[in-house]
Amino acid sequence: GENVEQHPSTLSVQEGDSAVIKCTYSDSASNYFPWYKQELGKRPQLIIDIRSNVGEKKDQRIAVTLNKTAKHFSLHITETQPEDSAVYFCAARPNTGNQFYFGTGTSLTVIP
């Protein structure tokens, strides 16, 4: 089955700096990669996603890149703000079904 690894587990950045979270996956059949943000005490919320036919996708201050050959994808947050502080989860979904495989999460702290 698919195995998703996520690094780092914790990340602290100064407000205004960039943050990068990286994930790797094992199943070449995975073709859809969503990212979730979970604020303290809240549900995970889908913030951005990327399909395997695209190398990069941007939405304002967040972007996701995908390298299918290397089987890794990354979340980039620019000009970080305190409200970006949360736990971020990556996930992969193989095209053989509808199951999602989640990374272990990255706790991001943006220091004002």
- Residue ranges that bind other proteins, judged by CB under 8 A: 31-32, 34, 36, 42-46, 49, 51, 89, 91, 93, 97-100, 102-105
Q: Which is nearer to other proteins, 42 or 58 (CB)?
A: 42
Q: Which is nearer to other proteins, 91 or 110 (CB)?
A: 91
From the CB of 44, what's the least distance to other proteins, in Å?
Answer: 5
User: How many CA atoms does the CB half-sphere of 2 hold within 13 Å?
Assistant: 28
Residues linked to residue 47 through DSSP beta bridges, in sequence order: none
Alpha helices in the chain, H assignment, sequence order: none
Cβ neighbours of residue 49 closer than 8 Å, sequence gap 6 or more: 32, 33, 34, 35, 57, 64
From the CB of 26, what's the least distance to other proteins, in Å?
Answer: 16
Q: Which is nearer to other proteins, 3 or 18 (CB)?
A: 3
Omega of the bond leading into 82 within 30 degrees of 0 (cis): no
Q: Which is nearer to other proteins, 14 or 53 (CB)?
A: 53
From the CB of 87, what's the least distance to other proteins, in Å?
Answer: 8
From the CB of 29, what's the least distance to other proteins, in Å?
Answer: 13
CA 87/CA 44 separation, integer angstroms: 9
